[in-house]
C-alpha cells in the first residue's frame, strides 16, 4: 500500500509540474525585462513592425530660431544638400539621406522637417541638388557605382529617375540648374554638362588620365581645376580647363590638392616632410605661404568676392601622412571655421564649431548661401549636416 501510494503521489506531482511547464511555455504572455531567446516554432517567423513612411509627415524638431549660431540640422547621414529659395516662401534646405536616397526638406524659419520622396535608392553615397530644387543627381553602390538623375515633383512622393549610362567619377550642380560631371571613356576622362529639362548633354573637355580630382566652377564656362588623386607618395600637377582647353599650371608636389577660381589657387602639398598650404596668384605669378594649413577640399568660395574662401581646419601640425590618412578616415580634425582672404592672406577665425558643439567636427562639403549669412557643412565623422549662422557678412 505504501509503495502504491508513493507511485500515485509521484505521478500526480509529475502531471502538475508538466501542466505548469506547458502553461508557462505556450500560454503565459508575460515577457521578461531581458529577452535571451526567441522561439519560432514551425513556419511562423518573427514579425517586425515598421512605422509607415509618409512623405507628407512633418516633425518640427529643430530649434532654428534661437540665438545659437551653430545648429545640427540632421541626425541622418547626408549624401548631399542645397539651400532652396522659392519666391515668397521661407528658405528651405533640401537634403538626400545616405543609404536610402530619400529626400527631405527643412524649413529654416519654423524648423519643420518634411519627407519629400519615398523612392529608395539603395546605398546612396553622394548627391547634388539644383538650386531650384527640381532635380538631383545621386550616385549609389559600393564597387560598381550607378549615377542617376532624379526629378523632384511637388506633391509626388515618387522620384522620377533616369540612369546615366556612364562611369561617373565626379559631379556638381551648377548655379544654372544643370549638372557638370566627368566620366571615364577608354583611357581618358570626358567632362560634360547635363541639362535635366531636355535630358541632353554636351562635352566640355577631355583629360588624358583617369584617376583625377576636379574642382568644378559654378557654371560650365568657369575655370575648372584638375589634378591626379592626391597621395603623399605620388607627385601631382594642377591643370586648369578654360574654354575647353586643358592647360598646365606651375603648381606641383607630393600629396597635392587644390581649389581655386580664375585668378587664385589655394593648394596644399608635402614640403620637407610637412604638409603646407600656399596661395598662387595667376595674374601676378606670385606664390605666398599661408599661415594656416588647410586641406583644400574643406573650403568653399564666396558667391560675391572671388578672393574670399571659408574653410574648415584645425590649428595643428599636419604630418607627412596627410592627406592620405585623412582620406582613409585614420586621421580626423576638430575644426574651426576660417575666413581666408586669398589676396592679402589675412585669415580670421569665424567660429570653433568643435568647441561650440562639444564634439569633434571634421568639416567637409562646405557651402555658403546666396546672402552669405549661413555656412553649411557636413561632419565627415558621421555625415550629419550642420548650419553656422553668421552675425555679419562683411568680408573686410
* pLDDT tens sequence across 315-374: 998 988 999 999 999 999 999 999 999 999 999 999 999 999 999 999 999 999 999 999
* pLDDT at residue 10, as a whole number: 65
The answer to whether 147 touches 134, Cβ cutoff 8 Å, is no
219 in Cβ contact with 173 (< 8 Å):
no
Question: CA 132, CA 81: separation in Å to the nearest integer?
Answer: 12
Distance in angstroms between the alpha carbons of the first and the last residue of the chain: 110
pLDDT of amino acid 339: 96
CA distances from 175 to 128, 210, 219 (A): 12, 27, 6
Mean pLDDT by 10 residues, the chain (396 residues): 58 65 50 34 31 51 81 96 86 97 95 95 97 97 91 90 96 97 94 97 95 96 96 95 95 97 96 92 96 96 94 92 94 96 94 95 96 96 96 76
- Whole-model pTM? 0.84
Sheet of 224-228, strands arranged across: 212-215, 224-228, 235-242, 245-260, 264-270, 275-281, 286-289
Look at residues 314, 225, 212, 310 and name the one whose alpha carbon lies nearest to residue 264: 225
pLDDT the model gives residue 247: 96
Q: State residue 43's pLDDT score.
A: 34
User: Domains in the chain, please, with CATH?
Assistant: 53-210 (2.130.10.10)
Q: Which burial class, exposed, middle or buried, applies to 32 when counting CB atoms under 10 A from its CB (0-12, 13-18, 19+)?
A: exposed
What are the respective helix, strand and coil percentages of the chain, to the nearest 5? 10, 45, 50
Amino acid at each position: 500500500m505504501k509503495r502504491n501510494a508513493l507511485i500515485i503521489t509521484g505521478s500526480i506531482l509529475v502531471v502538475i509540474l508538466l501542466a505548469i511547464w506547458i502553461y508557462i511555455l505556450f500560454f503565459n504572455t508575460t515577457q521578461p525585462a531581458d529577452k535571451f531567446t526567441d522561439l519560432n516554432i514551425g513556419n511562423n517567423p518573427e514579425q517586425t513592425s515598421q512605422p509607415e513612411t509618409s512623405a507628407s509627415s512633418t516633425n518640427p524638431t529643430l530649434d532654428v530660431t534661437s540665438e545659437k549660431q551653430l545648429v545640427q540640422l540632421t541626425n541622418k547621414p547626408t549624401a548631399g544638400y542645397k539651400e532652396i529659395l522659392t519666391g515668397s516662401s521661407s528658405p528651405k534646405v533640401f537634403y538626400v539621406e545616405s543609404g536610402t536616397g530619400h529626400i527631405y526638406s527643412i524649413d529654416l524659419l519654423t524648423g519643420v522637417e518634411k519627407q519629400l520622396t519615398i523612392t529608395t535608392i539603395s546605398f546612396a553615397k553622394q548627391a547634388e541638388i539644383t538650386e531650384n530644387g527640381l532635380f538631383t543627381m545621386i550616385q549609389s553602390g559600393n564597387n560598381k557605382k550607378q549615377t542617376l538623375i532624379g526629378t523632384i515633383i511637388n506633391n509626388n512622393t515618387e522620384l522620377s529617375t533616369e540612369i546615366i549610362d556612364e562611369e561617373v567619377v565626379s559631379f556638381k550642380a551648377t548655379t544654372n540648374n544643370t549638372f557638370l560631371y566627368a566620366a571615364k571613356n577608354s583611357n581618358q576622362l570626358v567632362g560634360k554638362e547635363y541639362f535635366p529639362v531636355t535630358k541632353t548633354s554636351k562635352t566640355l573637355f577631355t583629360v588624358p588620365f583617369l584617376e583625377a580630382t576636379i574642382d568644378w566652377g559654378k557654371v560650365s564656362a568657369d575655370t575648372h581645376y584638375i589634378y591626379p588623386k592626391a597621395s603623399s607618395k605620388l607627385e601631382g600637377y594642377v591643370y586648369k580647363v578654360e574654354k575647353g582647353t586643358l592647360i598646365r599650371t606651375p603648381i606641383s608636389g607630393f600629396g597635392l590638392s587644390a581649389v581655386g577660381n580664375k585668378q587664385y589657387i589655394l593648394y596644399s602639398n608635402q614640403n620637407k616632410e610637412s604638409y603646407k598650404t600656399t596661395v598662387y596668384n595667376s595674374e601676378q605669378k606670385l606664390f605666398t605661404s599661408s599661415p594656416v594649413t588647410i586641406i583644400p577640399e574643406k573650403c568653399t568660395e564666396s558667391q560675391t568676392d572671388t578672393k574670399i574662401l571659408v574653410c574648415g581646419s584645425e590649428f595643428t601640425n599636419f604630418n607627412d601622412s596627410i592627406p592620405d590618412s585623412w582620406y582613409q578616415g585614420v586621421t580626423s580634425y576638430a575644426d574651426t571655421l576660417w575666413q581666408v582672404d586669398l589676396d592679402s592672406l589675412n585669415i580670421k577665425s569665424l567660429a570653433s564649431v568643435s568647441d561650440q558643439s562639444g564634439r569633434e567636427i571634421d568639416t567637409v562639403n562646405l557651402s555658403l548661401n546666396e546672402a552669405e549669412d549661413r555656412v553649411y557643412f557636413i561632419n565627415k565623422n558621421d555625415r550629419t549636416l550642420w548650419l553656422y549662422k553668421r552675425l555679419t557678412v562683411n568680408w573686410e
